Structure 1
Amino acid sequence: MTPKPPTSPIPLLRATELTHSTRSIRRGDVVPVLRGVFAAAGDWQSLSPWERDLARVHAHLLRQPDAVLCLESAALVWGLPTVGKVEAVHVLASDTATARRASGIHVHTSAHSDRVLEEVGGILVTSAADTCIDLARVRHPAAGLAAADATIRRGESTASMLSALNEQRASARGRRRARWTLDRADGAAESALESVSRVTAEWWGFPAPKLQRWIGVSDDDGDRTDMWWPGLRVAGEADGHLTYDGRFGDPVAVLKAREERDRRLRRHGARAVAHWSWGDLADPSSLRDILLSVGLTPNSPPDLQHLSSLGRLLRSGRSGTGSA
């Protein structure tokens, strides 16, 4: 399934389109997006972090329309989730090029024969599957899992296909790291928050939940919960802050609807319902305390190294996605 071609979330301007670029910047009317590309200050300030990342991608394409995007930049074009702060626009070049990073552009050198290149809305990118493999090999496991879950959920690939592709890569670098991530990939996860929540709970030593389970006796009398621990009859709900910021109606009404839904879950067999958000993952001990409070018990030691690095990753910048 090819996604709708992504466009820049805001109008972008070349320096030549500004009558007095230096004066406009000094007055605060425009802000630089990348060298030589600008945006109106009000437009830029209205963007979420992931939208700014996407705007930077389009700013680079204004300057170099034949660039081949990879890693998080390709993920943004595919509409796959990114986790944490995206430090640069990532571009793939051949082995004969020079790997470098300057002015917000990170050029990666790698043999194109290892990756399938596709065109999405006129933009050259590594395939969705290859993008997932690249992220799983070189990024934090939680970031790789979020992208892999979304790719499988959208039908771009399967877990077995991603694993096979990882093993077929000529370079062994990162292969073992990617195996850990791809072994856990599951298209049942419906958001990046669910994906990251799942591995955070695992790193705290909690048992693996069932994903997207229906709790109720019929389609008209029940609800689907993000995570379900059947042994203890605990439901887990990964709630993003967006649900309560007014975009989907009166926050009070939204919260009331959530409380009514929790009552239905308990009526149909849930002993407890736990809720958490991105903030509870940025401070991973918060999720641990939430799960302990509803009666879950770790059955293995915590992986403090991954938990610590996850907290740093999430605090570096809010996670987001164009469509997943």
Structure 2
Amino acid sequence: MFEHLPHIIRSARLEHGRRESEAVRRGVQRGELVRVCRGAAVDAAAWRAASSRDRHLIRVLAVTPRLAPRAVVSHASAAACWGIPALAPWPSRVHVVDPDRSTSQTTANVVRHPGSLTPEDLRSLPPITVTSPARTGADLALTSPFRDAVVALDALVQRGLATADDVRHALDGRGSPRGMPSARRAVAFATPEAESPGESLTRVVLHELGAPPPTLQKRFPWGDGDLFADIVDFWWPRFGVVLEFDGRVKYAEGRWSGRRSAEQVVVDEKIREDRIRNRPEVHGFARTVWDELSHPPRLAANLRSAGLPLP
């Protein structure tokens, strides 16, 4: 889980050898080390090379030894540990649930949330303890905007970390906190059929535009004996309209690339699109990208041009 992260140098453990602790301080001053939090630093080059999520995981590992004994990594920090994607940037502070607190507290490195924890809410990811996937999903649904919650919950259920019923059960144990109606709406909207954050966000934007509910991951068989199949992200059989979300990662990995060059992937995708467009049941084909999802009217115009009626 954390083996790929750079080694954390903990100067607090070096108080008996002040020259070594002083060497860490000088390393930070020279730019050779990056101080993650008080008493913890990592190699500067490794920090620069780390992804945003990995930097947050480094913060989690750096902070947790200084936490109260019953505090547990939670919310966005637990999502990072479970590999759940996020629309928003990963936070600069580590989030924890502390059962010994009655109010929230934000410090330079930690956000402490009050709340009770049951044994089923806890999971061990050595060397730390985090909230379970279901409890993490419930916390995110209660505290995140609807779009962000759906992206996280779709990934949670798509990857088999928890079911929607698991998250509902975790919500049931929370009483009636602020945000519960929106949280339950997000859980009800979640699906395991969205294969990427972009597809999840597209689902939300389509819903906000008043589009009819689409079929996800529709298979169009082709070839001798229907040996092959083209799979599209969104399909409206009543109107014969296909919509594909085009994230750049789609052409770089997964079922799309194999060992092909980027140029060959683009050529093959054009052939695939033509094959889909030529099917008798397909009357319109549209694509959307991240930028268009930030401007829903563009997506609405795109879909109308493809033949999908919108309010």
1:229 to 236, 241, 248: 236
1:119 to 120, 124, 130: 124
- Residue 169 of structure 1 and its aligned partner are, at CA, apart by 2.1
Give the aligned partner of residue 206 of structure 1. Answer: 211
Is the Cα contact below 8 Å between 1:99 and 1:107 reproduced in 2? yes
- Residue 135 of structure 1 and its aligned partner are, at CA, apart by 0.7
Is the Cα contact below 8 Å between 1:243 and 1:254 reproduced in 2? no
* Structure 1 moving runs of 4+ over 6 Å: none
Instruction: Compare 18-27 and 98-107 and name the one that shifted more.
Output: 18-27
Q: How many residues align?
A: 295
Distance 1:203 1:90 in 2: 30
**Any idea what the Cα deviations from partners look like across 1:182-210, whole Å, max 9, x if unmatched?**
11111111122211110011112222211
1:156 to 161, 171, 174: 161
Is the Cα contact below 8 Å between 2:72 and 2:129 reproduced in 1? yes
Query: Does 2:86 correspond to 1:82?
Result: yes
Distance 2:219 2:104 in 1: 49
Query: Does 2:310 correspond to 1:298?
Result: yes
Is the Cα contact below 8 Å between 2:198 and 2:245 reproduced in 1? yes
Give the aligned partner of residue 314 of structure 1. Answer: none
Query: Does 2:247 correspond to 1:240?
Result: yes
State percent identity of aligned pairs. 31
In structure 2, the CA distance between the partners of 1:61 and 1:96, relative to structure 1 (3 Å rule), is closer
Matches within 5 A, 1:134-145: 134-145=139-150
**Any idea what the Cα deviations from partners look like across 1:13-54, whole Å, max 9, x if unmatched?**
234566633433333222232333222222222223222222
Distance 2:103 2:237 in 1: 53
Distance 1:52 1:102 in 2: 18
Distance 2:295 2:35 in 1: 32
Is the Cα contact below 8 Å between 2:61 and 2:128 reproduced in 1? no
In structure 2, the CA distance between the partners of 1:162 and 1:62, relative to structure 1 (3 Å rule), is closer
Give the aligned partner of residue 17 of structure 2. Answer: none
In structure 2, the CA distance between the partners of 1:51 and 1:287, relative to structure 1 (3 Å rule), is farther
In structure 2, the CA distance between the partners of 1:273 and 1:9, relative to structure 1 (3 Å rule), is farther
TM-score normalised by length of structure 1:
0.80
1:172 to 177, 180, 195: 177
Q: Could you say which structure has the larger radius of gyration?
A: 2
- Residue 97 of structure 1 and its aligned partner are, at CA, apart by 5.9
- Residue 114 of structure 1 and its aligned partner are, at CA, apart by 9.5
In structure 2, the CA distance between the partners of 1:113 and 1:263, relative to structure 1 (3 Å rule), is same
Q: Which runs of 5+ in 1 are unaligned?
A: 300-324
> The residue matched to 2:189 in structure 1 has which SS?
coil
In structure 2, the CA distance between the partners of 1:244 and 1:31, relative to structure 1 (3 Å rule), is farther
